[in-house]
Amino acid sequence: MTRIASIHRVPMRHPGDVSGVAALIEDGLDPAGIVAILGKTEGNGCVNDFTRAYAVQALSVLLAGRMGMTPEAVAERVAMVMSGGTEGGLSPHFIVVSVGETSAPPMRALAIGIAFTRDFAPEEIGRMAQVNATADAVRAAMAEAAIDDVHYVQVKCPLLTSERIAEAEARGATVTTHDTYHSMGLSRGASALGVALALGEAATVSDAAIGTDTSLFSGCASCSAGVELTRNEIVVFGNSPAWAGDLTIAHAVMQDGIDLPAIHDALRGAGLDPGGGQLAPDQAARLVALLAKAEPSTSGRIRGNRHIMNDDSDINATRHARALVGGVAAAATGRTDLFISGGAEHQGPDGGGPVAVIARKP
């Protein structure tokens, strides 16, 4: 038997609405085959975005009933990557990732690798311990899934809270920062550099480079930090000659938030024809998922023109960035149910980020 991946994109009415996932199961999707669920929830994407935990809880309860296990056991087995923030016209949705078996012969097709790190102590977040553990987990996921062509590595990583900081310091440990929001960026950055090490995109990494050396980055990493976990949960998307199916994945790296040509390159790489503009309906129907990272440039400029994303005290910069990149990607695809994640530290060049496309082969 040959492994085969399936990807289903379903809408949500609110972060706890798992009716779309339930309908997939009722229509025949084997819940035991679900290995990951990615979600875009309508929270603020910051430290106190509990829409992510709400969605994880709702999904865990749903799957527990279908799989005959506890919600806690489900959360240990299924990678649940919730990314908060659907600013602009982005639509809240879940992406359900499942792996099954088929009698079809192997061919080069979409393959999925899943791995989890150990739980991190607060003082390890944003440091080399997180980098190295992530690199090891990515390598393990690639090996288990026989992936030789990686295009996107989705990581859900933890962050620091005041409680976690106090617990570490009570033991005499020192954390990377007392700014809980800044800890999100350091955790994302350390995770992304772990991906870069695993994929050979970086030769060496040091504690001093995390969050500072923008020349070090992965063109495939997408990392999202949340309060709802203390380990890294990793989903490797790639192509493998050992899998079967009609899905394929490709990616490109956006150099800035309006890099439409990079999105077109990713679409073409997955076999879709944007025609220099927006996907025609027949092409859009073959688009299974678009996943991208968004980050305001630290220079405060896009192609020489000033932006105010980093200076707005009312709206967080990552929220601006998600809306910007989401608009460009929606214009390219004719869809708004796109997985656009903010906070791209070491994920693509400064101000840019990876964009991946999963599509059905013609």
Judge whether 167 is annotated as a binding position: no
Judge whether 295 is annotated as a binding position: yes
Q: Which domains does the chain have, with CATH numbers?
A: 2-104 (3.30.1330.170), 108-236 (3.30.1330.180), 247-360 (3.30.1330.160)
Percent of the chain with pLDDT over 90: 95
Q: Which of 40, 156, 240, 293 is catalytic?
A: 156
What pLDDT, in 10s, does the model give residues 25-39? Answer: 999 999 999 999 999
pLDDT at residue 228 in the model: 87
Question: Is the pLDDT confidence value at 85 over 90?
Answer: yes
pLDDT at residue 265 in the model: 97
pLDDT at residue 362 in the model: 87
Q: Is 91 a catalytic residue?
A: no
Give the residue-averaged pLDDT of 118-124.
98
What pLDDT, in 10s, does the model give residues 294-327? Answer: 999 999 999 999 999 999 989 999 999 999 999 9
pLDDT at residue 46 in the model: 86
pLDDT at residue 323 in the model: 96
Averaged pLDDT of the chain: 96
Bridge partners of residue 83, in order along the sequence? 40
pLDDT at residue 361 in the model: 93
Judge whether 349 is annotated as a binding position: yes
pLDDT at residue 87 in the model: 96
Percent of the chain with pLDDT over 70: 100
Q: Which of 6, 224, 240, 297 is catalytic?
A: 224
pLDDT at residue 83 in the model: 93
Q: Is 156 a catalytic residue?
A: yes
Judge whether 52 is annotated as a binding position: yes
339 band by pLDDT with thresholds 50, 70 and 90: very high
For the chain, the first-to-last Cα distance in angstroms comes to 24
Judge whether 188 is annotated as a binding position: yes
Helix (H), strand (E), coil (C) string for the chain:
CEEEEEEEEEECCCCCCCHHHHHHHHCCCCHHHEEEEEEEECCCCCCCCCHHHHHHHHHHHHHHHHHCCCHHHHHHHCEEEEEECCCCCCCCEEEEEEEEEECCCCEEEEEEEEEECCCCCHHHCCCHHHHHHHHHHHHHHHHHHCCCEEEEEEEEECCCCHHHHHHHHHCCCCCCCCCHHHHHHHHHHHHHHHHHHHHCCCCCCCHHHCCCCCCCCECCEEEEECCCCCCCEEEEEEEEEEEECCEEEEEEEECCCCCHHHHHHHHHHCCCCCCCCCCCHHHHCCEEEEEEEECCCCCCEECCEECCCCCCCCCCHHHHHHHHHHHHHHHHHCCCCCEEEECCCCECCCCCEEEEEEEECC
Give the residue-averaged pLDDT of 251-270.
98
Question: Is the pLDDT confidence value at 45 over 90?
Answer: no
What pLDDT, in 10s, does the model give residues 100-109? Answer: 999 999 999 9
Judge whether 133 is annotated as a binding position: no
pTM for this prediction: 0.95
What pLDDT, in 10s, does the model give residues 172-221? Answer: 999 999 999 999 999 999 999 999 999 999 999 999 999 999 999 999 99
Judge whether 83 is annotated as a binding position: yes
